[in-house]
Amino acid sequence: MSQDQNKMWGGRFAAGPDAIMEAINASIGFDRRMAAQDIEGSRAHAQMLAAVGIISDTDADAIREGLLTVLSEIEGGTFQFSIALEDIHMNVEARLKDLIGEPAGRLHTARSRNDQVATDFKLWVRDQMDAAIEGIDALMRAFVDQADAGADWVMPGFTHLQTAQPVTWGHHMLAYVEMLARDKSRFEDARRRMNTSPLGAAALAGTGFAIDREMTAQALRFDRPAANSLDAVSDRDFALEFLSCASICAMHLSRFAEELVIWSSAQFKFVTLSDRFSTGSSIMPQKKNPDAAELIRAKIGRIFGANVALMTVMKGLPLTYSKDMQEDKEQVFDAADNLMLALAAMTGMVTDMTANKDALRAAAASGFSTATDLADWLVRTLGMPFREAHHVTGSLVALAESRDVDLPELTLVEMQSVHADINESVFDVLTVENSVRSRTSFGGTAPENVRAEVKRWKGLL
Ligand code: ARG
């Protein structure tokens, strides 16, 4: 049958069924990204085969030399990838055969593509976990530096995006450091759990050859060989954990990205973003758009999408390997690329951004942000039950609102019209500076707390 016409499906398919099969089956288009890991795994395997006497040292040497040549061809861009050879594993082995002949055929002794792909993919994901941890560290340092610079700058704290109470800029920055520290520990935790070697599980049942799985595990810097061969070839938890750690981290990034979008608007003017991370408009000359923040905000879509996609692929798969699992890689590759990009872009934005101290303070002082301080004063000074103080303060806010002033601008006489016992010392608690300074409870926003936390984080990072 001709390759340019498909009898089964008619003219709509330009290619014959073999080409369609090749197109759906081949993974070389994407799994070539694991070439270095594939070659590393093969080198460890060959060395072990020689060490236990399954292949000769001469063959092992030829295999090692050949694999190094293949690696340099791939890295140098001269390697001819073949879709007919399906995947990176077959491509590498076929080229090895071209280069060294017969010994190449001995490499696959006591191994299958099933344990091979699980090993390669684990090595790849493990590298990405390390890269994510590094990227998170860099972003944490950028946030800590911002906190250090503005430990006592006052800004509005929000709930429901309504002014709630004054907080410090440093405290707000350190909130993200906490989130990122959890993200980092999630990756570290997942990395510890995943660090077992599938190599030597063979197709699914193990092998009759007297292999040394400890040796290959060690060579590939795994903590130990995976204990059950069936699980070893069918486990993709490590990829799912990577994606879920990445999703939570990307969710955190999206929250700060959203704050940057709001804060950089003409209505807020809390921060000025650097030109390096903004763009202009082709029609509106005044515009400076926070594109990088918007794109970071959007990245969670594809990263969490990958998480859902792979979870759905794995759901209901019987043990052990099924070809469905080949669909794991593109999701993880894309999520990893975009997480690293988002972390790097966010680190750049946080490093470059300038907080507009005056605008932050002005916003903090509006919206009756010290109403809670006033209620607390009534409790502390007049011995009022908090519920009553809440009510009295509500009346004072209503009075200020009707006069179109903020709480510190009410006169003592006006205040006493609401409650006769209020005295001059109330004004001490109505400024935003005094408000934040008073919040010294553990974890509170007081500048002295922020400074102590900055010091702690600088020691840790
Ligand atoms: N390309 C395959 C994958 O990515 C490699 C494993 C093939 N194994 C098999 N039994 N066909 O999953």
| pLDDT at site 13 | 66
Q: Which of 86, 113, 329 to mutate to test the pocket of ligand 1 (most atoms within 8 A of CB)?
A: 113
Whether pTM exceeds 0.85: yes
Residue closest via CA to ligand 1's atom 4 equals: 326
Instruction: Compute, in angstroms, the gap from residue 317 CA to the centroid of ligand 1.
Output: 15
Instruction: Compute, in angstroms, the gap from residue 362 CA to the centroid of ligand 1.
Output: 61
Instruction: Compute, in angstroms, the gap from residue 454 CA to the centroid of ligand 1.
Output: 49
Pocket of ligand 1 (CB under 6 A): 27, 31, 87, 113-114, 117, 321, 323, 325-326
Instruction: Compute, in angstroms, the gap from residue 461 CA to the centroid of ligand 1.
Output: 41
For 196, how many CA atoms within 13 A lie in the half-sphere containing its CB? 16
Is the distance from CB of 251 to CB of 183 less than 8 angstroms? no
Atom of ligand 1 nearest to the CA of 31: 4
Instruction: Compute, in angstroms, the gap from residue 114 CA to the centroid of ligand 1.
Output: 6
Residue closest via CA to ligand 1's atom 1 equals: 87
Atom of ligand 1 nearest to the CA of 27: 1
Euclidean distance between CA atoms 5 and 108, whole angstroms: 38
Euclidean distance between CA atoms 290 and 366, whole angstroms: 26
| pLDDT at site 4 | 47
SS3 158: strand
DSSP 168-214: EHHHHHHHHHHHHHHHHHHHHHHHHHH-EE-TT-TTTT--SS---HH
Q: Which of 89, 108, 117, 325 to mutate to test the pocket of ligand 1 (most atoms within 8 A of CB)?
A: 117
| DSSP state letter for 6 | B
| pLDDT at site 18 | 86
| pLDDT at site 335 | 98
Atom of ligand 1 nearest to the CA of 321: 10
Atom of ligand 1 nearest to the CA of 87: 1
Q: Which of 82, 87, 233 to mutate to test the pocket of ligand 1 (most atoms within 8 A of CB)?
A: 87
| pLDDT at site 1 | 40
Instruction: Compute, in angstroms, the gap from residue 117 CA to the centroid of ligand 1.
Output: 7
Atom of ligand 1 nearest to the CA of 329: 4
SS3 287: coil
Instruction: Compute, in angstroms, the gap from residue 192 CA to the centroid of ligand 1.
Output: 25
Name residues of the chain where pLDDT drops below 70: 1-14, 16-17
What are the catalytic residues? 160, 281
Residue closest via CA to ligand 1's atom 11 equals: 323
Atom of ligand 1 nearest to the CA of 88: 1
Is the distance from CB of 121 to CB of 198 less than 8 angstroms? no
User: What does DSSP say about strands 196-197 and 224-225: parallel, antiparallel, or unpaired?
Assistant: parallel
Residue closest via CA to ligand 1's atom 12 equals: 326
Instruction: Compute, in angstroms, the gap from residue 186 CA to the centroid of ligand 1.
Output: 29
Residue closest via CA to ligand 1's atom 10 equals: 114
Residue closest via CA to ligand 1's atom 3 equals: 326
Is the distance from CB of 454 to CB of 460 less than 8 angstroms? no
